Each structure stands twice: as structure tokens, then as C-alpha cells.
A and B are shown apart, each in its own frame.
Chain A
């Protein structure tokens, strides 16, 4: 039998080998990667980092663009470390972290206090769960109307639009909030996420907290199934649907909303457009979730803030880790990577690439003290 296979596969194998050889001959190794793995020389040239290994992480899709910036910065500083981040969604990320598949995970939905005291596969015995807010992103209520770039919409009006109580853009309820704006009679097409999403949860949480009478649904990652409207897959899907549909309104990560009309929301008695500073201020003004370990920095977001310097329609995403890992090298990697993430340069890089709001100094200092103790 051996002869058959040799006979038959030689041509294919030859072609493939030739193709690979051609590719490798062209690049050898990727031009942007350090040639070969020579820890000593690399460490010497980049300031003596002794870290090496692979850090597999994954979870919240919201963090993807920020993780890209963080990964790039971290890997450039530590050429012998490879960091991977799978954008699998918060639920899968947490599940893989619990079972030891990921060393650290990103999640929009933190573990409950009860879950946090459970066992995690990568952690040493006696370790507590580390959860730190690392990614703050304002959620924009964006719309597509010819000639109108900004509107004022309070939460009960937004709720009425998404529940179908308000059908057209020239509805008196919208006109009353926007004196001086000529509204078209276009039908409103509400656009929501078809997939389960932290953005949806924060948006519905905002509506449920600020307009409970107009929005009878609880905060949830999935859009209420009995509501009509256009469903779109992922943030990109929402952005494309909004761009393509005149009269559409949707909610999405503010960084992706720059080509669209944006609504200012009502905070206290003022109208507030989203901004990175106002989003970070809203997180800082909210209190910590009580009853958790000192390493578990979960924030109980207050959507009903009245301070006009805050923008409470905001998404906070966390990194999850162990305070002590079973393998010390894992601990060193997690410590270094998370410390990099909460550093001000990394937060600025994420703001550039993902349009997130950098952590305020208070939050960053609190995070840094927790992640710096990971071992």
C-alpha cells in the first residue's frame, strides 16, 4: 500500500511544497516579526524583558479593536510573548476562563458575586477572582436622516421609538424635544442587534432604569423578541444597516457612529452628546458593586445620574484573571499584560483605535494596584 500513496501523492506534495517554499522564500519570516526566536538578543535590545510564552485570551467582542491595540503595544515591548484574543463573546469567554482554556478573559457581563467565589481551572488554590474595568465605551443612539446630524431624544422617547409607539420622524413627541428642526415624515426603522450582545444589555439597562414605564423589559443581552424592527449582526451590521436605510435609528458603539447622525440624551435637565470624557465620568460617578472580594472591582453602573458632565449610556467591559495562578509563568504573563492594558499609554492607544474612553486616573490607579499583585 505504501507504494501507492507515494506514487500518487508525489505530484501534489511537490506542488504544495513548491508553493510553500515560494512563500517562505519570499518572506522567510514575516518582515514585521523578529527573525527567529533568540530570547537573549531580543531581551537585550528591548530593555531586559524576560517574559516569554503564549497568552491566550478571549471573550467580549466589544474589546476587540482595543485588544488589537493593546496586543500590538505589548508584543512590541515583549517580542517573545504572543498574545491571542478570540472575539467569542462574553459568555464563551467566561466559560473558557472557568475551564482553563483562557488565561484571562474579557467580558461585558461580570461574574455574579456567587460565581466569583467558585473554582477556576487556571487559578491556584486560595486565589481570588480578579475583575477590573479596562474598557469604557459610550454607546451612541445613531440615526440616518438626510440633512439632520443631531437630535435631542430623551430615554422615554427612545423607548417609544424602539417599542413602535412612535412610527414617524415628524411625531409630535420628537418635534417637542427638537424645536427649530424640520423633521421629515419618513417612517422610523428601528435597528437592533440580532446576536446576543453587551451593547444591547447596556442599552436596555439604560432604558429600563431611566424610562421604566415606556420600556417594560428587563436589561438583557438579547433584544426582546416581540418587538418589530430590523435585526443586524454585530456592530458592523448595525452600522451598515443604518448607513443604507434612510429613516433608520439604532444603537451602537460610538466609535463606529461617526458617519451617522447622533442623538443627545437627557441627563438631569440638560442634553448631553456622547464624549469619551463624559462616559469615563459616568463610570467614575457610579459606585462599586458591594459584597465582592477586594480584587473584584465590579462597577454598579448608575444610569440615572443627573450631572450633565456624565453620559450614562455607556458600556464597561472587564478583564477577568486569577489573583494567583497555578503556573507562575502564567501569572507573570497575566500580570504584565493586564498592567499594560491599564497603563495610560495603552488606554490612549485603545482610544485611538477603538474610540473608547480612557480610564480616569482614579480608576486606572485602582485597577493597577490589583493587577500588579497578580502572581
Chain B
């Protein structure tokens, strides 16, 4: 209530109806905030309480190969998620940052407008469409039924590039024009100004933008289900063969439970917990990174 009491004493007192209205509005907003918070709290409580039982060392050291019923783990899915996400970052970060540099530093006229429009459209692409795109590419290149982690990374890149472009664009626009002008005045060509002045200045923001893009894609299921497939076994080779990922692991454990369905459901909940923890860690890292280097 500090906003009400922090009023200079010299002013006349606030009338009762206004104070009542202020209090009611305050309580209403607090209530709505709690309502908005409730699903999140419920989600965290549910996932932690149901995922707790299988949060054991085996879960992180075993795959599902040769496992029937209880036991087993998700190491193959954790490794798959990390590899595919990393590959998606390697594909989308350069494209996304380069597109943002073009928009901010060079882009004028019709081409820039078209690019902005396309990025807007791509932001709204449903993930399954990105999956179908990668599936079509994969089928055309390798024949029907082919699956690979790289194709999964390609599908995720389609989703990630617009996020990276958008956030990088904002970060590059925040770089003061004074810096650019100073560099240009010293005789530095535009490309060197970008490389040596603009990008280093915007670096923390760019990194956190890429990290947020990663958070956006790490939980995607539909495209990976289509093109990366699912396997019980470890696969470190992005270019060849099916690769398990955590979201698809959760889906398949839930959907294809055997007779002892509790064991499958517990594995799914634990995988969900691990996935949420990964996203949380990435978000935290992005925030720490951008706050640490702010100048």
C-alpha cells in the first residue's frame, strides 16, 4: 500500500471513495496475479511430486535399451536433446544474427520490409508445419521412413531463427548511434564498425537472445516426433539414424505404456522434471549472462 501512503503531507487528504476504489483495485490485481500464478505453482508441484520417484542415478546413466517394464533411464534422450539443440543453435544463431545485422545496419526499402514480414510470419508457424517441412526435405533426400537428429535440428531451426532475429534486432538497435558514428569518423569501414563495435557492444544481449531461442525449441515435440523419431538406444551420430529426445521420450512413455503402466508414467514425469530443469537452467544462464556484462 506504499503507493497510497507515500503522498506528501502538504496535499489535502484523499476522499474515502477514492481510497476504497484504490484498495479494491489493488486487491483485484493481486487476486488476478495469484490466479495467473496458480497454474505455474500447480505445474511445478505436480511435476516435482510425481517426477521425484524416478529421479535416481539410473535415470541419468541408462538408456531404455533392453529394458522392459520398470527401470531404465533417459540418458539417450538427454544426450539427444542436447545434441539436437546444439545443432539447431549452430544452424540458427549465425543466420538469425546475420539477418538482424542486415535489418539494422544495411536494410532499407522493399527487401528489408519483406524480410521483416517473413520473420513475423515465421514466428507464427506451428511447430508441426516446421516438422513437415523437415520431413519433406528428408524424404526427398533420403527416401521414405528416414530419420535423423540433424533433420530434427533443421526443423527446430525453422522455429528458432525468427526468435533470434527478433531479439537480436532489438539488441542491435539498442547500440548507441554515437558509437557507430565515432567509429566511422575514425575512418573505419562499415563492416569493421559492425564487427568491432556494434556486435561486441550487443554481445550479452545477443547471447541471451540465442539462449531464449533455445528455450523456445528445447521442449518441442511434434517436429522431432516426425523427423528424429524414437529409439531405445544411445545415438551420438546426428547424421544417421533415429535419435531420442526428452519431449518425445515423455510422449512415447505416456502413450505406449506396457502393462505396468505406473513405471512408464513415472519415467515420463521424471523426464518432464529434467526437461523443465534444463529450460530453467538455460533461462537463468541467459539472464545472468545479460546482466553480468551490461555496460
Residues of A within 8 A of B (CB): 1, 3-5, 7-9, 11-13, 15-17, 19-20, 23-24, 26-27, 29-33, 54, 56, 58, 61, 64-65, 68-69, 71-72, 75-76, 82, 84, 86-87, 95-96, 99-102, 234, 236, 255-256, 349, 352-355
Cross-chain contact A30 with B61 (CB below 8 angstroms) = yes
Considering only CB atoms, which chain B residue lies closest to A97 in the complex? B145
Q: A12-B210, A32-B66, A69-B68 are in contact. Are A61 and B143 (CB under 8 A)?
A: no
Considering only CB atoms, which chain B residue lies closest to A29 in the complex? B234
Cross-chain contact A23 with B75 (CB below 8 angstroms) = yes
Cross-chain contact B259 with A355 (CB below 8 angstroms) = yes
Q: A27-B61, A27-B75, A100-B143 are in contact. Are A8 and B258 (CB under 8 A)?
A: no
Cross-chain contact A101 with B255 (CB below 8 angstroms) = no
Q: A24-B79, A26-B60, A31-B62 are in contact. Are A354 and B199 (CB under 8 A)?
A: no
Cross-chain contact A16 with B82 (CB below 8 angstroms) = yes
Cross-chain contact B98 with A1 (CB below 8 angstroms) = yes
B90 at interface by CB-CB < 8 Å = yes
Label chain B's interface by main secondary structure. Answer: helix
- 3 nearest A-B pairs in the assembled complex, by CB-CB distance: A101-B145, A65-B258, A30-B63
CB contact list, B185-208 vs A, under 8 A: 194-195, 199-200, 203, 206-207
8 inter-chain pairs at a CB distance below 8 angstroms, sorted by A residue, are: A12-B89, A13-B86, A20-B86, A31-B58, A33-B66, A54-B241, A61-B255, A82-B231
Q: How far is the CA of A174 from the CA of B255 in the complex (A)?
A: 34
Label chain A's interface by main secondary structure. Answer: helix
Interface size on B, residues (CB 8 A): 61
CB contact list, B267-288 vs A, under 8 A: 285
Task: Please indicate the chain A residues that have their CB under 8 angstroms from the CB of B257 in the complex.
Answer: 65, 236
Residues of B within 8 A of A (CB): 58, 60-63, 65-69, 72-73, 75-76, 78-79, 82-83, 85-86, 89-90, 93-94, 97-98, 101, 143-147, 194-195, 199-200, 203, 206-207, 210-211, 214, 229-234, 241-242, 252, 254-261, 285, 289
Considering only CB atoms, which chain B residue lies closest to A61 in the complex? B256
The minimal Cβ–Cβ distance linking B223 to chain A, given in whole angstroms, is: 15
Cross-chain contact A33 with B234 (CB below 8 angstroms) = yes
Task: Please indicate the chain B residues that have their CB under 8 angstroms from the CB of A353 in the complex.
Answer: 68-69, 258-260
